[in-house]
A and B are shown apart, each in its own frame.
Chain A
Amino acid sequence: MSILANRDTRAVIIGGVAGVNAARRMAQFDFLINRPLTVEAFVYPPEEGQQKEIYRGGELNNVTVYASLQKALDENPLINTALIYIGASRAYQSAKEALDSNGIKLVTMITEGVPEKDAKRLRKYALEKGKIFNGPSSIGIMSAGECRLGVIGGEYKNLKLCNLYRPGSFGVITKSGGLSNEAMWLCAQNGNGITSAVAIGGDSYPGTDFVTYLQMFENDPETKAVVIVGEVGGTLEEEAAEWLGAEKRRIKVIAAIGGTCQDVLPQGMKFGHAGAKEGKKGLGSARSKINALREAGAYVPDTFGGLSKAIKQVYQELQATGIISPEPEIDEKLLPELPPSVQEIMKQGEVIVEPLIRTTISDDRGEEPRYVGYAASELCEKGYGIEDVIALLWNKKLPSKEESEIIKRIIMISADHGPAVSGAFGAIIAACAGIDLPQAVSAGMTMIGPRFGGAVTNAGKYFKYGVKEYPNDIPGFLAWMKQNHGPVPGIGHRVKSLKNPDKRVKYLVEYVKNQTTLHTPCLDYALEVEKITTSKKDNLILNVDGTIGCILVDLDFPEFSLNGFFVLARTIGMIGHWIDQNNQNARLIRLYDYLINYAVKEEREVPEKK
């Protein structure tokens, strides 16, 4: 048996992230004792309509967030308890609304820092309504083997250590949240555990008091003794003593009262809880509370450390008189273990997870990104440039000075080719239509393909094939190309020809061949091919795609990477065009009619649909 919360308790949590975290802890307890989920709904207007993922063991539940308490109750009619986690400035209104709701009998406020007057009003209101308002600043309520409200009881392991999976014979009432957990542990260690534990909160004017719950425990036949943990300030402990002494009580009371040190400390010294403040003339002092409780027949040890002994003594007495008969213990090994997360089991090396992706180039799990093992900042410090980073990320090798200079020049030479070409023109049209940078640049980027800029990879690939398969047989290579592929990629230009050579090609070839020591078998082969193709047709020259492709193959870049150089280089240009158009506040482009040949049918009537 229990008080306040049991297997029929169904809760709504009012509040945001702290409430969701509490719901997750509560679901762990639900799993431990195999009961349905306690939390059925959240109320938090900013997140209306969202679903919160709550695991009960391995079972995933989605709990809905409602904008209003009424909606939550309409859709979840079993709810009979409200937990308030919402901020102090809205806590009063939320709690009042909960107390006004028909189905809700118990409101527990976890929120801290609630104005005293608000707490006083809620206490009064709950009394008028015949309901329980527990808190503010309560850590929650625990009924062993039945229900957990709030994070009371702490982590999963502790729930087991404190025997909270099955009821015992001790009730617990504390002001402090941390000490409720400690007291539950003491009851498990020195007795047979608890029936229920309630934290009433350490504020000056909590909504309930020791007497409320002592009476409930008195009426709960399974509870044989109650541990109360009080402290200096207020008169709730004195009232508990009065209750205890007023008539013969079935339950035994064990108490610890904090704050005796106040006698020797600076006057008015403030303790942890707001309510821990001595009243005038000794009333409310720890000493007065201890004396009152002892006189009323409670067991009150001198220090908190003495509580263990007191509980053990009471437990032994209750056993000796047959009030508590020992019950067979549940073997803790039979209790379910919380399913661990994948990360946790992986740490222990007990599971193999096949990775979804694999990377061989970079890793940012440390303090800074590392490119193929090298820290980015160290590369900067040691004088490496962007061309070295490209080589690392695309080819996993640090190039020599000479090699990186070639890479740099390839990019510089390819960065832009004026506004008329497909890529730049695409980006400009998009810019003029008011499209933002990334989308406008990718409009230009979509143009890169077999007819524009996209021949670098294939050029490199086929010239490399030629070098390997037809080293001394260019006609053979050309015949093979014609039969298997078609025109040779990297050969031919729309406007340039032998007589009107492409300056970029000339420059690159001369630079690589005359000013570097790079071994260039692929480029040499392509130049031999050009000799033959230009003999057939003047404009079948080695174009810039072909040149770049061959040089990059000679630099040992993988085939897949080759188009990347054009894409990367031209991105610089396209971004430039986008910025340029925006700087000029360019207007939307529409083609003039005279630029279009309307080769269409004459105007005619639409026939009736058949």
Chain B
Amino acid sequence: MAKILEGPAMKLFNKWGMPVPNYVVVMDPNRLEQLGEANKWLRESKLVVKAHEAIGGRFKLGLVKLGLNLEQAVEAANEMIGREIGTAVVRQVIIAEMLDHDEEYYLSIAGNRDGAELLLSNKGGVDIEDNWDTVKRLFIPLDETPSIERITEAALEAGFVGEIAERVAKITSRLILCFDNEDAQSIEINPLVIRKSDMRFAALDAVMNVDWDARFRHPDWDFKPVSEIGRPFTEAEQQIMEIDARIKGSVKLVEVPGGNIALLTAGGGASVFYSDAVVARGGSIANYAEYSGDPPDWAVEALTETICRLPDIKHIIVGGAIANFTDVKATFNGIINGFRESKSKGFLENVKIWVRRGGPNENQGLASMKKLQEEGFDIHVYDRSMPMTDIVDLAMNS
């Protein structure tokens, strides 16, 4: 899953003939003034300014401003850029033309196991959640494109009338082309409108997810996916992502502010069960982390140091199943080095460490982990005979 921002999504819409309003993305408000000199629409239309960042609830945060002229837009951009929202900073804004329209429609496509599902409603806009039962669904089998007639039929059932239904069908078929050819996982347009000035369709807002694993066949994807957790990535998360992109195997990190149990867990499956175990016992996790696929020791070391720096943690859970091919000795060496380094920098004061692991070279790995006790670490080491998530129980009862 890779969520992309509005700007790149609109670019892909344009590519496949899906009309969008005029828009520009800027980092510097002065650039907007210059663009205004070059583009008539910026001078003559009502504008909307939005923070071009993966921040949820932008409207409530004042990061969406409507009905502005160019001067007001520059001012709004000035206000937004550099604003700090939690750990995030607004760096870009998107300025788009506001289109005068009456009706607001809803149009989306989401992939599923057998193909995709098209959702259509003539009651789009902010009220769509309330009108969810008016949404008409149409299944699109894998590698098939429904005929314009078939989509028109669906549009009629969704409440569109006459010629509009036919035109909605044509727009939809272009969106299906875009969905198929861009390896999209989901596209949601809300609202889709007909602009009064020329009675043409335009997608006013776009939420799009593409399959990042398919990027090898999309040389024109010049964007990066953005965070899907309702906030931009933190610096630590970005550092780990950069390491992840460079190595064999993987290291992953999501910070969860406020928690006091840190996870340094192995494997995509086991790591989830460790989070579950903490939550099930009434604890709160300080992060989600995972290393898998036999990553190099230095990458695990970097992940370890990052986790040791999390504020207010009381426990670190170094958990994992019995690995198939991840070398326990080598990855544990990375963790041990990370612990030592962190301790020398003053971290890990009053932090208890709980270890459970099996797999290739488990004996050596567990033995060297256990030796940390001699260096003054409060560390508790268990082998495969300890049920996997039971170290969480031990930690929380300690």
Q: Which residues of A contact B (CB under 8 A)?
A: 25, 88-89, 112-118, 120-121, 123-124, 139, 151-155, 158, 161, 174-182, 185, 189, 202, 204-205, 229, 231-232, 234, 256, 258-261, 263-274, 276-277, 286, 302-308
Contacts and interface: CB of A to CB of B under 8 A. Distances in A.
Nearest to A268: B228
B387 A286 contact: no
A116 B324 contact: no
A17 to B, nearest CB: 11
B271 interface: yes
B12 interface: no
A176 B214 contact: no
A88 B213 contact: yes
B388 A304 contact: yes
With a 10 A CB-CB cut-off, give which of A178, A179, A232 has the most chain B CB atoms.
A178
B325 interface: yes
5 contacts: A153-B324, A158-B360, A177-B324, A261-B276, A272-B269
B129 to A, nearest CB: 11
A112 B248 CA distance: 11
Contacts of B285: 261, 265
Contacts of B292: 178, 272
A272 B244 CA distance: 13
Contact of A179 (B217, B252, B254, B269): B269
Given A89-B216, A116-B185, A269-B254, A178 B279 contact: no
Interface stretch (B299-307, B315-323, B343-351): B315-323
B289 to A, nearest CB: 10
A89 B217 CA distance: 8
Contacts of B213: 88, 113-116, 274
Given A113-B213, A181-B321, A286 B142 contact: no
Interface in B71-126: 111, 113-115
B267 A176 contact: yes
A289 to B, nearest CB: 12
Interface string B136-164: 00000011000000000000000000000
B325 A268 contact: no
Nearest to B321: A182
Nearest to B111: A116
A154 B322 contact: yes
Contacts of B111: 116-117, 120
B268 A272 contact: yes
Contacts of A89: 216-217
A553 B324 CA distance: 64
A303 B276 contact: yes
Contacts of B214: 115-118
Contact of B113 (A88, A123, A308): A123
A234 B252 CA distance: 22
Which 8 pairs between the two chains have the least Cβ-Cβ distance? A176-B269, A272-B268, A178-B267, A182-B321, A115-B214, A258-B272, A304-B273, A305-B389
A115 B183 contact: yes
Contact of A178 (B56, B228, B321, B390): B321
Contacts of B323: 154, 178, 181
B324 A139 contact: yes
Interface in B269-315: 269-273, 275-280, 284-285, 288, 290, 292-293
B358 interface: yes
Given A176-B267, A185-B358, 9 more contacts: A155-B359, A177-B267, A178-B320, A179-B270, A261-B279, A266-B256, A272-B290, A272-B292, A303-B276
A272 B271 contact: yes
B142 A261 contact: no
Given A266-B229, A304-B273, A272 B388 contact: no
A270 to B, nearest CB: 6
B388 A182 contact: yes
B386 to A, nearest CB: 9
Interface in B311-366: 320-326, 358-361
Given A178-B322, A260-B280, A231 B384 contact: no
B: interface residue count bin: 35 or more
Interface in B216-273: 216-217, 228-231, 252, 254, 256, 266-273
Contacts of B252: 272
Nearest to A155: B360
With a 10 A CB-CB cut-off, give which of B211, B322, B326 has the most chain A CB atoms.
B322
B52 to A, nearest CB: 19
B44 interface: no
B1 interface: yes
B269 A258 contact: yes
Contact of A258 (B231, B273, B320): B273
Given A154-B359, A178-B267, A182-B321, A205 B113 contact: yes
Contacts of A271: 268, 271-272, 288
A259 B272 contact: yes
A524 B388 CA distance: 84
Given A121-B143, A269-B229, A305-B387, A264 B114 contact: no
A351 to B, nearest CB: 22
B321 to A, nearest CB: 4
Contacts of B28: none
A304 B277 contact: yes
A264 B321 CA distance: 24
B324 A152 contact: yes
Contact of A266 (B230, B272, B293): B230
A571 B252 CA distance: 57
B269 A158 contact: no
Contacts of B275: 261, 265
Contacts of A185: 322, 358, 384
Interface string B361-398: 10000000000000000000000110111101100000
Contacts of A266: 229-231, 254, 256
Contacts of B278: 261
B360 A202 contact: no
Contacts of B229: 266-270
Nearest to A260: B276
Nearest to A205: B113
A234 B254 CA distance: 22
Contacts of A158: 322, 358-360
B217 A182 contact: no
Contacts of A152: 324
A173 B86 CA distance: 42
Nearest to A258: B272
A270 B143 CA distance: 28
Given A265-B256, A266-B230, A178 B270 contact: yes
Contact of B272 (A124, A261, A267, A274): A261
Given A266-B230, A271-B288, A182 B113 contact: no
B383 to A, nearest CB: 11
A526 B44 CA distance: 108
Contacts of B280: 260-261, 302-303
A182 B270 contact: yes
B268 A182 contact: no
A578 to B, nearest CB: 43
B33 to A, nearest CB: 36
B5 to A, nearest CB: 15
A263 B284 CA distance: 12
A181 B324 contact: yes
Given A259-B276, A303-B273, A154 B324 contact: yes
A441 B200 CA distance: 81
A179 B278 CA distance: 18
B211 to A, nearest CB: 5
Nearest to B249: A112
A178 B356 CA distance: 14
A514 to B, nearest CB: 62
A269 B389 CA distance: 21
B387 A151 contact: no
Nearest to A272: B268
B273 A175 contact: no
B322 A181 contact: yes
Given A205-B113, A272-B290, A120 B142 contact: yes
